[in-house]
A and B are shown apart, each in its own frame.
Chain A
Amino acid sequence: MSDAKKFMFVNRKAPYGTIYALESLEVVLITAAFDQDVSLAFLDDGVYQLKKGQQTKGIETKNFSPAYRALEDYDIEKLYVEKEAMTARGLTEEDFLVPVTVLGRAEMGKLMDEQDVVLSF
């Protein structure tokens, strides 16, 4: 692990309206197999990806949100939500389907600066 790179996936887009959130998650799951230091950041509408209770039957689309719960099984446990984005959307930590670390903007910015590879989709 000593030569592992710090990978951060920055998610700023809501689910279902576009495919970015789903396909971003697919990359995250693959990255887990490469023994890298992976973290996920949720900013802007990206925080909606983690909302509990997604019911997609009516739009005839697969509900992929349970996959966020599976991240833990892949040893991906660093999920960061930007506080300002969360509160601007009327959400609290209790609204999310997985445990997350809530960070203020400045802390989030600092964390981004520490990464080796930043991917956003």
Chain B
Amino acid sequence: MLHIINKSPLTSVTLDTCLNTAAGGDILLIEDGVYAATRGSAAEAQLRAAMGKFKVHVLMPDLEARGLGDRLMDGVSAVDYGGFVDLTSNNKTCQSWL
């Protein structure tokens, strides 16, 4: 399953809840969710710890728009909108954690 997160981990429990509840699979960070994938943020360790259970992706146009295109942490795969589409087609279902 693909889990889509669009909230900053510093203002919302959405990423926490997803990491704690979801059974695994792919996570795609979009919109304000991309802040979770930046080096040096308070959420970095948490996301790194989840990498055994999830494969984490970030929507690069959203990260670049926020001026953090050069801060992507290791182990997170960068995708464009085409890659986003592929993630949805390669997974049987997707859930937007709104």
| Measured CA separation A26–B6 after assembly (Å) | 24
A-B contact count (CB 8 A): 44
- Chain B residues with Cβ below 8 Å from A113 are 1, 22-23, 25
- Chain B residues with Cβ below 8 Å from A106 are 23
Interface size class of B (residues with CB under 8 A): 10 to 19
- Chain B residues with Cβ below 8 Å from A72 are none
Q: Are B98 and A121 in contact (CB under 8 A)?
A: yes
| Measured CA separation A79–B31 after assembly (Å) | 30
Q: Are A109 and B97 in contact (CB under 8 A)?
A: no
Q: Are A43 and B96 in contact (CB under 8 A)?
A: no
Q: Are A109 and B22 in contact (CB under 8 A)?
A: yes
| Measured CA separation A44–B13 after assembly (Å) | 8
Q: Which residues of A contact B (CB under 8 A)?
A: 10, 12-13, 20, 43-44, 82, 84, 105-106, 108-110, 112-113, 115-118, 120-121
